[in-house]
Amino acid sequence: MTITRNVKGLLGTKLGMTQVWDADNKLIPVTVVQAEPNVVTQLRSAEADGYTAVQIAYGQIDPRKVTKPLAGHFEKAGVTPRRHVVELRTADSADYTLGQDVTVEVFEAGQKVDVVGNTKGKGFAGAMKRHGFSGVGASHGAHKNHRKPGSVGGASTPGRVFKGQRLPGRMGNVRQTTQNLTLHGVDVEKNLLLIKGAVPGPRGQVVLVRTAVKGA
């Protein structure tokens, strides 16, 4: 597989949202991501692996909680074990070295980024909350079915509920990518990324910030 794009990325922790003033005195809502230096733990090459990529790791972990295969993997890279690992397919993997620190300096203010994370978990939710159903009238004959989804199937034919039918169930806590967000600012001293708008997940969620796939 030939990869032609140079992709930069960092794992970081979502701290929450705030607002800042821009050059035109407009109030901009931004998400603050704390991206401590990531470390390179593996390099992929077209000759050995069939594609080019760089693997980065982030977050501290008690070495006693790391499995032996993973401990050996980190030892081979010459770094201490980390909690989170991600692989970025990029054409410039040869420019990295094992054990190298990757900091927020790989990004610059104004560029477009994609943010990958897990959405907030909502638990078991009904059809109105989960799918936006209108429900049943509040009165005029409605009796104890104000929030019910209604019929979910046909009669004896087809005699079953079709796959994909929108039903109550567990909502949220799924992997989601928000694309083409503007990187409003980069604070190198504090290892902070200020991203315009909202990103997936609650405060404290680990997210991946990477070069935008579209519109970069």
- Domains present along the chain, CATH in parentheses: 16-36+104-136+166-216 (2.40.30.10), 38-102 (3.30.160.810)
102 CB contacts (<8 Å, ≥6 apart)? 10, 37, 38, 39, 40, 56, 96
Whose tokens are 């397919």? That residue is 89
Looking at residue 149, its pLDDT comes to 92
Q: How far is CA 9 from the centre of its chain?
A: 11
Select from 203, 206, 209, 213 the least CA-distant residue to 17.
203
Q: Which string of DSSP letters, residue by residue, matches 69-86?
A: HHHHHHHHHTS--EEEEE
pLDDT tens digits, 104-142: 999 999 999 999 999 999 999 999 999 999 999 898 888
Write out residues in the chain with pLDDT < 50, as ranges.
none
Report the pLDDT value the prediction gives residue 23, as an integer from 0 to 100: 87
Q: SS3 for 213? A: coil
**Secondary structure (H, E, C), 88-117:** EECCCHHHCCCCCEECHHHCCCCCEEEEEE
Cβ contact 189:37 at 8 Å: no
N-terminal to C-terminal alpha carbon distance within the chain: 22
Tens-place pLDDT, residues 26-46: 999 999 999 999 999 999 999
